[in-house]
Chains A and B, each alone.
Chain A
Amino acid sequence: MIPGHRELASREAAQFKGLLRFFEHRQYKRGLKSAEQILKKSPEHGETLAMKGLFLSNLDRKEEGYECVRKGLKNDLTSHICWHVYGLLYRADKEYEEATKCYRNALKFDKNNMQILRDLALLQIQMRNYEGYAETRDLLLQLNSHNRMFWIGFAIAFQLNGDHDLAIRVLKTYEDSMKIAPPKGDYEHSELLLYRNTLYEESGDLEGALADLDAIEDRVCDPISVLEKRGNLLQKLGQLGKAKATYRRLIDENPECRDYLVGYFACFGFPADVTEDARSKQIVEECALLADHHSRANLLRRFPLDYLHGDAFRTRASAYVRTMLRKGVPSLFVNLKPLYADSERAAIIEDIMLAQQKSLKENSTLVGEDIKEPPTTYLWTQYYLAQHYDRKGDIECALALVNETIAHTPTLVELYMTKARILKHAGDLDGAAEVMNEARQLDLQDRCVISKCTKYLIRSNRIEEAEKTIGLFTRPDIKDPIKDLIDMQCLWFAKETAHGYIRQNKIGRALKRLHQIEKHFDDFTDDQFDFHTYCLRKTTLRSYIRLLKFEDTLYTHPTFVDAAESAIKVTHPGLRCLFDVMFGANDMVTVLSGLV
Chain B
Amino acid sequence: MSADTVATTAAAGRAPRLDLDVITPNNVGQLRCLNSALFPVHYPESFYTEAANNNPLCQLGYFNQVCVAAVCCRREPIPNEGRKQRVYLMTLGVLAPYRGYGLGTKLLDYALDQCSKDASIAEIYLHVQDGNDEALSFYQKRGFTIRETVPDYYTNIKPSAAHVLVKCTAS
A residues apposed to B, CB below 8 Å: 328, 370-376, 378-379, 408-412, 441-445
A410 and B64 contacting across the interface, CB-CB below 8 Å: no
Given A371-B13, A442-B29, does the pair A409, B36 have CB atoms closer than 8 Å?
A: no
Mark each residue of chain B from 66 to 101: 1 if its CB lies under 8 Å from any CB of chain A, else 0.
111000000000000000000000000001011001
Interface centre among A372, A442, A445 (most CB of B within 10 A): A442
Question: For the complex, would chain A's binding face be called helix, strand, loop or mixed by DSSP majority?
Answer: loop
24 pairs, A vs B, C-beta closer than 8 Å = A370-B11, A371-B13, A374-B13, A375-B63, A375-B97, A376-B63, A376-B64, A376-B66, A379-B66, A408-B97, A409-B66, A409-B95, A410-B37, A410-B95, A411-B33, A411-B66, A411-B68, A441-B29, A442-B29, A442-B33, A443-B27, A443-B29, A444-B25, A444-B29
Given A378-B97, A409-B68, A411-B68, does the pair A372, B29 have CB atoms closer than 8 Å?
A: no
A408 to B26, CA, bound (A): 23
**A375 (CB) vs chain B CBs: closest residue:** B97
Contacts between the two chains (Cβ within 8 Å), count? 62
Can you add 15 more A-B contacts, CB < 8 Å, to A375-B97, A442-B27, A444-B27? A373-B13, A376-B66, A378-B97, A379-B66, A408-B95, A409-B95, A409-B97, A410-B34, A411-B33, A411-B68, A441-B29, A442-B29, A442-B33, A443-B26, A443-B29
B27: A residues at CB distance < 8 A: 442-445
Give the shortest distance, in Å, between B97 (CB) and chain A (any CB).
4
Would you call B16 an interface residue if the criterion is a C-beta within 8 Å of the partner chain's C-beta atoms? yes
Would you call B65 an interface residue if the criterion is a C-beta within 8 Å of the partner chain's C-beta atoms? yes
B residues apposed to A, CB below 8 Å: 11-13, 16, 25-27, 29-30, 32-34, 36-37, 63-68, 95, 97-98, 101
Q: Kindly identify which residue among B11, B34, B65, B66 contacts A371, using a CB–CB cutoff of 8 Å.
A: B11
A373 to B66, CA, bound (A): 15
B36 and A410 contacting across the interface, CB-CB below 8 Å: yes
Q: Kindly identify which residue among B13, B26, B29, B66 contacts A412, using a CB–CB cutoff of 8 Å.
A: B66
Interface centre among B29, B32, B63 (most CB of A within 10 A): B29
B66: A residues at CB distance < 8 A: 328, 376, 379, 409, 411-412
**B16 (CB) vs chain A CBs: closest residue:** A374
**B28 (CB) vs chain A CBs: closest residue:** A444
Give the shortest distance, in Å, between A439 (CB) and chain B (any CB).
9
A376 to B13, CA, bound (A): 13
A328: B residues at CB distance < 8 A: 64-66
B101 and A374 contacting across the interface, CB-CB below 8 Å: yes
Give the shortest distance, in Å, between B69 (CB) and chain A (any CB).
9
A411 and B64 contacting across the interface, CB-CB below 8 Å: no
**B101 (CB) vs chain A CBs: closest residue:** A374
A412 to B11, CA, bound (A): 27
Give the shortest distance, in Å, between B96 (CB) and chain A (any CB).
8
B64: A residues at CB distance < 8 A: 328, 374, 376
B30 and A442 contacting across the interface, CB-CB below 8 Å: yes
A379: B residues at CB distance < 8 A: 66, 97
Give the shortest distance, in Å, between B12 (CB) and chain A (any CB).
6
The 7 nearest A-B residue pairs measured at CB: A371-B13, A375-B97, A445-B26, A441-B29, A442-B29, A376-B64, A444-B26
Give the shortest distance, in Å, between B98 (CB) and chain A (any CB).
5
A409 to B66, CA, bound (A): 9
A374: B residues at CB distance < 8 A: 13, 16, 63-64, 101
B65: A residues at CB distance < 8 A: 328
A162 to B25, CA, bound (A): 60
Q: Kindly identify which residue among B12, B16, B34 contacts A411, using a CB–CB cutoff of 8 Å.
A: B34
A445: B residues at CB distance < 8 A: 26-27
Give the shortest distance, in Å, between A361 (CB) and chain B (any CB).
11
Give the shortest distance, in Å, between A323 (CB) and chain B (any CB).
13
Give the shortest distance, in Å, between A273 (CB) and chain B (any CB).
48
**B34 (CB) vs chain A CBs: closest residue:** A411
B98 and A375 contacting across the interface, CB-CB below 8 Å: yes
A370: B residues at CB distance < 8 A: 11
A443: B residues at CB distance < 8 A: 26-27, 29-30
A442 to B68, CA, bound (A): 13
B25: A residues at CB distance < 8 A: 444
**B97 (CB) vs chain A CBs: closest residue:** A375
A445 to B13, CA, bound (A): 34
A441 to B36, CA, bound (A): 14
Give the shortest distance, in Å, between B45 (CB) and chain A (any CB).
14
A411: B residues at CB distance < 8 A: 30, 33-34, 66-68, 95
B12: A residues at CB distance < 8 A: 371-372
Q: Kindly identify which residue among A371, A376, A409, A441 contacts B16, using a CB–CB cutoff of 8 Å.
A: A376
B32: A residues at CB distance < 8 A: 441
B98 and A410 contacting across the interface, CB-CB below 8 Å: no
A443 to B29, CA, bound (A): 7
Give the shortest distance, in Å, between A385 (CB) and chain B (any CB).
16
A376 to B32, CA, bound (A): 21
A412: B residues at CB distance < 8 A: 66-67
B36: A residues at CB distance < 8 A: 410
Give the shortest distance, in Å, between B92 (CB) and chain A (any CB).
16
**B36 (CB) vs chain A CBs: closest residue:** A410
A395 to B27, CA, bound (A): 30
Q: Kindly identify which residue among B11, B37, B98 contacts A372, using a CB–CB cutoff of 8 Å.
A: B11
A376 to B37, CA, bound (A): 17
Interface centre among A374, A375, A379, A411 (most CB of B within 10 A): A411
Give the shortest distance, in Å, between B7 (CB) and chain A (any CB).
10
A228 to B37, CA, bound (A): 55
Give the shortest distance, in Å, between A362 (CB) and chain B (any CB).
14
Give the shortest distance, in Å, between B68 (CB) and chain A (any CB).
6
Interface centre among B13, B16, B95 (most CB of A within 10 A): B13
A122 to B130, CA, bound (A): 84
A373 to B15, CA, bound (A): 10
A409 to B25, CA, bound (A): 21
B98: A residues at CB distance < 8 A: 375
Given A328-B65, A408-B97, A410-B36, does the pair A372, B30 have CB atoms closer than 8 Å?
A: no
A411 to B93, CA, bound (A): 13
A442: B residues at CB distance < 8 A: 27, 29-30, 33
**B62 (CB) vs chain A CBs: closest residue:** A411
A441: B residues at CB distance < 8 A: 29, 32
A332 to B25, CA, bound (A): 31
